Every structure is written in C-alpha cells, then in structure tokens.
Structure 1
C-alpha cells in the first residue's frame, strides 16, 4: 500500500499592521511537505494514488493548463511510486519551466484545443491506448478521494481558529477543510477565495462534496484580473511578503 503520511507545521507571521489591528495570522505550511508535490497536492493525491494501486492501474492520465501545479505534482508522484503518466493540457503547444519538470519526471504531454478539452472522458479514451491499465484523474485532482485527503488537514491543527481562509481553484481543498471542520463541530468561520474570475460557481462545486450543510463565505473579488493574472498591487505584495515573513508566495494562489 502506498504510504503518504505527512504533517506540515503552522507558523505565525508578524507584521506592524497586524499588531496595530490586534490580529494574529497563522499559515499552514503545506508548501514544506515536498518541493514538487507542493501545497495541498499530497493531500489531494493520497487516496487517488491508493485507489489506482488497489485497482492495479499503472498509468495515470490527468488534465490541466500549461501552468498547472497539479500536473507537476502528478508527474512527480507517478515517478516516485512507479506509475506512467500522461498530462492532457488545455490550449496551444507551449514550453515553460513547469512543463519541462513534468517531462523530466517522465510525463507524456498532450495538447488539445479548448473545445475538445471540455470532454475529458473522450480525451481519456483517445489518449489511453492501454485502457485496462489507465486511471482517470480529473483536473486539479478534483473528486471524492481528494476531498477526503484534504479533510485530514483539520486534525493537524492544534487549536481552533476564529477564521480559516483558503484559495480555491476547483474548490476541492475548501470542501475537504469544511468537512474536517464539520466532523468536529467547529465554530471556525471558513472563507473560500476563488483565484478565477467570476468564481461564484464554486459555491455549488464545493457544496456537492459536503457531508453536512455548513455555511461558508465565498470572496469572489480577489482574483486580480483572473487566473494567473497580476496587477502592480499584487506584484508589490508578493515581493514584500517574503521580506517581512520569510515565506515565499506565488501570484496564482497564495498571493
């Protein structure tokens, strides 16, 4: 059985503004779990990989954009645990550092137009010559297994916080954390922050995975132009944050 046990620390950050406002801010450092299977990706892939192993699959096929951290995490995890991997990428054929790392980890890259990309099951059939041994992983790792893995994050917290904030791409991590909070009847207020423009649809995407009806806040005005888009204000913040905290952040999710 693939063993994916891990625990990330919680760090408090200090800033004059926080002191002035009498606010304490803590960060769950999932970015320290692994250099390539980064952030929430270990949690999302944990039960997906175990399911693939149980079903005796040896070929992981998944989906994402050209800057998808999920693709990189899947490529690395596949190499680590002895799977073949294929990444089906939305949009024109491009080359960047992230995709270079995917290829270094042995992932075969397939590019497809945005219209075809909408039918992922058809693409899975098209690119899996070994259909009996191929295992479908949805974009971003979205699914029940990923939600279950992300729910375990809550059990690692040593105190109950007033508020928890989480950036959202597919809503999977948010749903997992909400389920974890629900399991312990936590009074913590949960805030989901979509990184996509017009991210209101994520409310229902999150709710479909919830084990009980839990209220949460969805903040849709902090995308800074859309997925992977930046503004000068955001760039300044991303540059200033490491200097005051010692923690690197990125322009897509954590910034």
Structure 2
C-alpha cells in the first residue's frame, strides 16, 4: 500500500517570498493523508509482522488520526477500534470512521488519560489487538516522518511544520541530522504552552541547534481559532489555491509570513512548509466560515 507516494514539492507564489515551497503530503490519500500515513506506515508493518489483526487507537471526536487509522485498517484487511475522548456524539468524522468499519468506544475524559489502562480493560485477552497511541506517537512514526527529508529535491534553509504531539517534528529533525544538513527546523506548536513539544521530541531524537520552537501561534490553544486566523485562511486559500486547515497548517503558514515580517527569516531563503493534511478538520469548524 502506498509504495509510490504522491507527495510533490510545489512552489507557492505569494508575496514577498521568492523561494517558498510546500511539501504536499496532503495529496498522499484523501483519508490517510499527510503525516497520518507517515506515522502509521511502520506501525502497520509491525502489527502485521507480529500477527496482529486488530488496531486499537485513541483520539478526539474530530480526530484525523482516527479516520486515517480506520481507512488504513480497511485497506489492509484489519479490524479497528478507537477510544473516543468524551461523551457520545455523531459527526462527519466519526461517520467516516464507522463507514470504514471502525468500532467506537466513547470514554469519559478522566479514564481516557490512562490509555494503557483503557486498552488493558477491553483487550487484555485479545491476542490479535495492537496498541497505537493517540496520533500514532511512537518510534516507528518518527522513522516514517524522517523519510520526508530523503524525498526532498534540494536542500532548504528552513523547514516549517506544525506540531500537536511533536512526533512529526522529531522525525524531521532525525532526518535532518541523519543526512547531515544545515537546514533549520521551525516547529509551530498548535497548543497553548507548546514548550513541552521539545521534551516530547527528545523522547525520540537528540534535540540540537537545528531546532527552533515558535510558541506564540496557537491562537488560543488546540483547535482554537480567532477571527484573524479565519480571515487569514480565507485570504491565503483564495490567493494560492492551497487549502489549509484551522488546527495545524493555517497556524504554520501564518507563522511563516509573520516571522518574515519581523525579519526573523529572510524572504529570499529557500523555505519549505510541510502540508500535513488534516483538511477534514475544517468540517468541525464549518460554521466559522459561513
């Protein structure tokens, strides 16, 4: 599955940049797009090699990771179950999960915090069950994300990515180090108090001077927006033809443009932005665009 990734690098024509490019991981698949496939790739291989046929994972009611896992399981002839954080709800994302055959277990937030305990409670006697952490966070996920660096056609001065758990960022940093590049990695945490992302990355990779965190672009926190961010999305998409989402990629592109305005990055440097997909997240905020 996905032996040949459809993930081109495309140039963006947006003032004042002359060398702004985007790695279109959002084009990998409509439902297993972006970093979701990168993070699941080696987890699926590990599960299959161990004879596991039942993927068990975790996420919120609007989780792109849940949709991706459900779709990947269906394509691989595997079963899938998800612990969904919070009260029972119905929405477009969970509908897609169930269409792909995923079973949903709605879990109150206090119990959800201990994911291993949730797994053990339901599946300790299921020898076919395979634990996948929220968002796919794992060493295998960083290996998949590190491969992005080897696919790039040129060396860039700066690479930007948005971060929720830091797994994708850790993989990118690992790839930069393994290939001995001078590239600077700029990580945009999408949660308030995003300094913890560096600690999360350090679980998987040695944090180096290649890394810079920009923690002031969360717009109120995870899945939070402001009128300024919504207006930015509308303007950016209409100008570039590139669809971005309010949770991750919009905050990243806003940061790139704002950092250039502050002269913290050179508009003529070679800059690559990683489009991590997640576009289905727009469905959870559709009223903000009406």
Scaled to the shorter chain, the TM-score interval is over 0.9
1:166 equivalenced with 2:165 (yes/no):
no
Tell me if the contact between 2:183 and 2:210 (Cα under 8 Å) persists in the aligned partners: no
- Secondary structure of 1:16's counterpart equals coil
Instruction: Go from structure 1 to structure 2 and tell me whether the alpha carbon gap of 1:4 and 1:120 turns closer, same or farther (over 3 Å shift).
Output: farther
Instruction: Go from structure 1 to structure 2 and tell me whether the alpha carbon gap of 1:158 and 1:175 turns closer, same or farther (over 3 Å shift).
Output: same
Tell me if the contact between 1:171 and 1:205 (Cα under 8 Å) persists in the aligned partners: yes
- Secondary structure of 2:175's counterpart equals helix
1:244 equivalenced with 2:239 (yes/no):
yes
1:109 equivalenced with 2:108 (yes/no):
no
Q: CA deviation at 1:168?
A: 0.2
Q: Deviations over 1:6-43 (max 9, x none)?
A: 2410111112333xxxx421110000000000111111
1:178 equivalenced with 2:177 (yes/no):
no
Give the one of 30, 36, 42 matched to 1:35. Answer: 30
Q: Deviations over 1:155-177 (max 9, x none)?
A: 01011111111000110100001
Tell me if the contact between 1:179 and 1:212 (Cα under 8 Å) persists in the aligned partners: no
Q: What does residue 280 of structure 2 align with?
A: none
Give the one of 70, 73, 79 matched to 1:78. Answer: 73
- Secondary structure of 1:26's counterpart equals strand
1:194 equivalenced with 2:189 (yes/no):
yes
Distance 1:166 1:3 in 2: 22
1:225-236 residue pairs with structure 2 within 5 A? 225-236=220-231
Distance 2:78 2:131 in 1: 13
Q: CA deviation at 1:128?
A: 2.0
- Secondary structure of 1:199's counterpart equals coil
- Superposed CA RMSD in Å reads 1.4
Relative to the length of structure 2, the TM-score reads: 0.83
Unaligned runs of 5+ in 1: none
1:6 equivalenced with 2:5 (yes/no):
yes
Relative to the length of structure 1, the TM-score reads: 0.94
Q: CA deviation at 1:118?
A: 1.1
Give the one of 129, 137, 144 matched to 1:142. Answer: 137
Distance 1:112 1:147 in 2: 28
Q: What does residue 98 of structure 1 align with?
A: 93
Distance 1:213 1:197 in 2: 23
Tell me if the contact between 2:86 and 2:107 (Cα under 8 Å) persists in the aligned partners: yes
1:16 equivalenced with 2:15 (yes/no):
yes
Q: CA deviation at 1:197?
A: 1.1
Q: Deviations over 1:169-204 (max 9, x none)?
A: 110100001000001111011111111111111111
Distance 1:229 1:131 in 2: 38
Distance 1:16 1:109 in 2: 45
Unaligned runs of 5+ in 2: 251-290
- Secondary structure of 1:67's counterpart equals coil
Distance 1:212 1:83 in 2: 36
Q: CA deviation at 1:110?
A: 0.7
